[in-house]
Structure 1
Amino acid sequence: MAETTDAQSLTTLIVDDEPLAVERIQVICAEIDATRVVGTASDGAAALRLAEKLSPDLVLLDMTMPELDGLAVARRLAEHENPPAVIFVTAHDHFAVEAFDLEAIDYVLKPVSAERLERAIERALRHSGSRSGSDDIGRSDSQWLDELWVPHRSELLRIAIDEVHQIDAERDYVRLHVGDPSGPPEASRTYLLLQTIAGLEARLDPDRFIRIHRSTILRRDTIRGLRHDGLGVWSAELQNGEALRIGRTYLSKVKAMAGR
């Protein structure tokens, strides 16, 4: 990373109940010009006390801690007049949706690599720069999701919601289809996310996505047309030529989209 000035560095609080994890993150941060560690805490209550006293720009926050966990700490920090940026550093990938709801900057999986943490801190630095001089602290007023974090290998990827063209239910998970909706289905990249399809549907903009079946949500602009297959059965024809059956429960809403 290129050297940064003091004005560009982020005062940083490290919160983790594992001393070795704190030590490792401190060592990594010492090599990153954009951070200046001003304190460490081993539990959520201590983290909140230090955050109140030190007003850090950035909190590197473990997710699972006794009594007050990382999500609870992040919610309390968000209530501050000038809340710090939060990067979750955790061994568990299944809290990503909750972390996203709290507008965390990033979600880094343990064991932490120097390169991965540096990328997350660079994102926090850009976020800090975009907030300077702004009264709205850079937070979106939209109630709908703009992006998702999905587990992939040893990290989590950010995926813009506009890149997702189909969502399929797989028990307690959803499978996200990402890529060119006009290409063959096998050309799409897919990712599993621990989230029910009903829970995800509630977070999606209904002007951009529509549920056509208990197991399927489609991005509206990928639907080329509707086809009547007889006996009251309808299908949605997609840009790639595929046809997906429309569930009876969802048929009236899909027809209303087409002005029928």
Structure 2
Amino acid sequence: MSESIRFLIVDDEPLAVERLQLLLARIDGVALAGTASEGAAALRLIEALQPDAVLLDIAMPAMDGIEVARALGTLDKPPLVIFVTAFDTFAVAAFEVEAVDYLMKPVSGERLGKAVERVRARLDDDSPAEPAPEKSRYLEEFWVSEARGLVRLAAADIDRISAERDYMRLHVGSRSWLINHTIARLEEELDPERFVRLHRSSIVRRDFVTGFRRDETGRWYAQLGDGEEQKVGRLYLQNARELAGRG
């Protein structure tokens, strides 16, 4: 892309806007299309100015950045989105709306530069279009937070998921990560051919279940691939029967 990449900055904090403006000014091949301090104004400016990309805050009054990004998805040619936020709990939602990058405040010039290069690469990708494969309606990946940034977890690699208060813990081998989801939402978004709910607080990958046992009180337990057991809730006994081919 030979022309400058035109960015719109959207943030309700004037100092944050000023900082991003200064950082952008130090990057070659970048131009500022404008700024907005709230979501509705951002949408109006995007329609009028048609920027190539948006540096978008998430936590804003009235209309947050995730809602803005979802609204952009309805446009014929939406700008690319880079989220810039002080919170790491929106990573999954950010990548569900196909954000190019997710930057944590305070943003460094180096990190912003890498994000701009991702935008440039996306805009430069003018290879002949091929029919896109049909996108699954189920979650195929999770983006989880770690001390140094974000990690991508393929849904197929997750052994089991357990509820912890208002969060869900994804278990992969000996490691685990917390995400801000409800178990009811995950049950809807995960492929039922791959995952099964066995308890009000647990979802298990089907091929991670190695067997079932019944104790002296009549309660059923699923035996898992890591040697652990998962109690089967009364409401989910039918799921266990179907998994065992007894449904």
Task: State the distance in 2 between where 1:211 and 1:128 align.
Answer: 41
Secondary structure at 2:215's aligned position in 1?
Answer: strand
Q: CA deviation at 1:231?
A: 4.2
Task: State the distance in 2 between where 1:218 and 1:104 align.
Answer: 29
Change (3 A) 1:140 1:126: farther
Please identify, of 209-218 and 45-54, the stretch whose mean Cα deviation from structure 2 is larger. Answer: 45-54
Q: CA deviation at 1:89?
A: 0.9
What is the aligned partner in structure 2 of residue 163 from structure 1? 157
Change (3 A) 1:122 1:223: farther
> Paired residue for 2:141, among 131, 144, 147?
147
What is the aligned partner in structure 2 of residue 64 from structure 1? 59
The one-letter amino acid of 1:62's match is D
The one-letter amino acid of 2:189's match is R
Change (3 A) 1:27 1:176: same
What is the aligned partner in structure 1 of residue 2 from structure 2? 6
Answer yes or no: is 1:212 the counterpart of 2:198. yes
The one-letter amino acid of 1:252's match is Q
What TM-score results when the alignment is normalised by the length of structure 1? 0.81
**Structure 1 segment 1-260 matched on structure 2, within 5 A:** 6=2, 10-33=5-28, 35-128=30-123, 133-134=128-129, 141-153=135-147, 155-178=149-172, 180=173, 188-260=174-246
Encode CA deviations 1:57-86: one digit per residue, 9 max, x unaligned: 211101123333323322221111011221
Secondary structure at 2:159's aligned position in 1?
Answer: strand
Q: Could you list the runs of 5+ residues in structure 1 that have no partner in the other structure?
A: 181-187
Encode CA deviations 1:96-122: one digit per residue, 9 max, x unaligned: 343343232332221223343344444
**Residues 56 and 84 of structure 1 are in contact (CA less than 8 Å); yes or no, is this contact kept in structure 2?**
yes
**Residues 109 and 154 of structure 1 are in contact (CA less than 8 Å); yes or no, is this contact kept in structure 2?**
no
Task: State the distance in 2 between where 1:132 and 1:50 align.
Answer: 29
Q: Could you list the runs of 5+ residues in structure 2 that have no partner in the other structure?
A: none
Q: Provide the alpha-carbon RMSD of the alignment.
A: 2.8
The one-letter amino acid of 1:144's match is Y
Aligned length: 246
Encode CA deviations 1:164-211: one digit per residue, 9 max, x unaligned: 221110011111112x4xxxxxxx221111222122221111111111
